[in-house]
Chain A
Amino acid sequence: MTGRGTPSRFLAAVLHNGVGRYVRQLQRLQLVFSPAAPDARGARQFVEEAALDFARRHPDVVLYISPRSCPAPLLLAEYLNGTVREELIASKTSEEIAQLATKLANQSGLDIIRIRKPFHTANPSVQGQWHPFTNKPTVLTVRGPRLPPQ
């Protein structure tokens, strides 16, 4: 739809992440899948093969595996700013799920909506923001008669 019809936000980082140190914004990943459903085959393979590897590579993300009867296999990502994102992993292969998990781990929890500008700064002007009076002579400038050339 149009820019006005859909929500949008400015480029931002949670708590100025990256200025001081980088803190991974993903807090925990919950892998909910059914032990018998056919579309959760990729999820089961992921748990058997790649989940431990993922957990070792990301020690700051807590990975919960819950095999229970559910209508569809899900990957629930909880972020530090409180956002909870659900991703369906039905009929996905184990590699695709691993890629998705890495993508979620590299995101911050801010909304995935249109970003108005691809840049943001707190100090946009170094020499001073231009205003209509910049570079104009002040009221105090004395403008006398033209002096003869010497």
Chain B
Amino acid sequence: MATGLLLRASRRLLAAAGAGAGAGRGAHGLPPRHNKKRWLRAYLEQQRLQAPPQRRSEKPNWDYHAEIQAFSHRLHENFSLELLKTAFVNSCYIKAEEARRQGLGVDKEAVALNLQDNTKLSEQGESFSRSYLTQCFEGAYPNLPAKGIGALVDFLTSQELVSYVAQNLSVQDLTLCAEFPVPPRVLQRTFFAVIGALLHSSGPEKTEIFVRDFLIPQLIGKDLFEIWELINPMGLLVEELTKRNISSPEPRITRQSGVSTVLPVYFVGLYCDKKIIAEGPGETLLAAEEEAARVALRKLYGYTENRRPWDYSKPKQGWAVEKAISSN
């Protein structure tokens, strides 16, 4: 009887001691006994980093309809949602989906998806953007020849630039495509399809403003001859000057320094009728002459670094009418 009491008391004491020791260990900051392995967290992080990239639509929390609506609000545009959804569907996706359904053994009627391609919208969008950009540049730089304008438009509608713009506007998340990460060609096509959808939903004026707002800022900080590869700037300059009835340029060294050293610098000035039109630096005389020709061409075409920045203000439709009324 007394031993039983003692046993129970000792068990209670042990339990209390254990709890006290546990609390004591916790108070002293010692870890509990059955914890996860030390390397587990780092291993799981490594697995997460090495996992192949997944589409956003396959990750949790994704609502396609809500995302499409947010997309149209984000761009401050009123899209018709069916056209926008069609714009994101690519032909590779349709083929992959039908192949997958056939592979799963679904019957013939259910295999054919009721989805339309975005090829037509994409072609319309691309041709509209190109024509609008050509029109813009012809108006803004009237002295720039057609080849230069063509080079600028090609740069702005090129794969890398358009896919970069599309990626930073979350077009990649919304595109329905067979491969992931979406290849740049598909992103370019999808972006032009979005422009085509906007063309059909809101009309040409709004689409023009859209193209202007997203593609033309990509020219900020870029030089004309970075975009337009010229082989013979001096020849082109002579042509341009003869078109304007100015005599051919005479190159003269205006400044030079360090001629006999390993890093010489020559400034060559181009003179027409003994008046200077441009001056350019270079490491050798030939390089300096070429650079001077390029500077002269930039001045002639009006594409210098200190030109007036592009006008992004809202075009007022009734402006011409108001001006006519106010002048009367």
Chain A residues within 8 Å of B, Cβ to Cβ:
14-16, 19-21, 23-24, 27-28, 30, 59-62, 64, 66, 80-81, 122-123, 125-128, 133, 136, 138-140
26 pairs, A vs B, C-beta closer than 8 Å: A14-B168, A15-B165, A15-B214, A15-B218, A16-B217, A19-B220, A19-B312, A20-B212, A23-B74, A27-B170, A59-B69, A59-B70, A60-B73, A61-B70, A62-B70, A64-B61, A64-B63, A81-B168, A123-B221, A126-B306, A127-B306, A133-B267, A138-B255, A138-B267, A138-B269, A139-B256
Q: Check A59–B73 contact: CB distance below 8 A.
A: yes
* B104 interface hit (Cβ, 8 Å): no
Given A66-B61, A125-B306, A138-B255, list of 14 further CB < 8 A pairs?
A: A20-B213, A21-B75, A23-B74, A23-B76, A27-B70, A27-B74, A27-B170, A28-B67, A64-B63, A125-B305, A127-B306, A138-B254, A139-B255, A140-B269
With A23-B75, A80-B169: A139-B66 Cβ-Cβ less than 8 Å: no
CA distance A19 to B213 in the complex (A): 8
CA distance A84 to B209 in the complex (A): 31
Nearest B residue (CB) for A137: B255
Residues of B within 8 A of A14 (CB): 168
CA distance A20 to B269 in the complex (A): 38
With A60-B73, A138-B255: A23-B217 Cβ-Cβ less than 8 Å: no
CB distance from A53 to the nearest CB of B (A): 16
Residues of B within 8 A of A64 (CB): 61, 63
Give the interface centre of B216, B218, B255 by most chain A CB atoms within 10 Å. Answer: B255
Q: Check B254–A66 contact: CB distance below 8 A.
A: no
CB within 8 Å of A: which of B187-214? Answer: 212-214
Residues of B within 8 A of A15 (CB): 165, 168-169, 214, 217-218
* B11 interface hit (Cβ, 8 Å): no
Partner of B67, one of A24, A62, A122, A133: A62
* B252 interface hit (Cβ, 8 Å): yes
Q: Check A66–B60 contact: CB distance below 8 A.
A: yes
CB distance from B106 to the nearest CB of A (A): 31
Residues of A within 8 A of B212 (CB): 20
CB distance from B268 to the nearest CB of A (A): 11
Nearest A residue (CB) for B212: A20
CA distance A133 to B220 in the complex (A): 28
* B182 interface hit (Cβ, 8 Å): no
CA distance A126 to B63 in the complex (A): 49
With A15-B165, A23-B75: A133-B213 Cβ-Cβ less than 8 Å: no
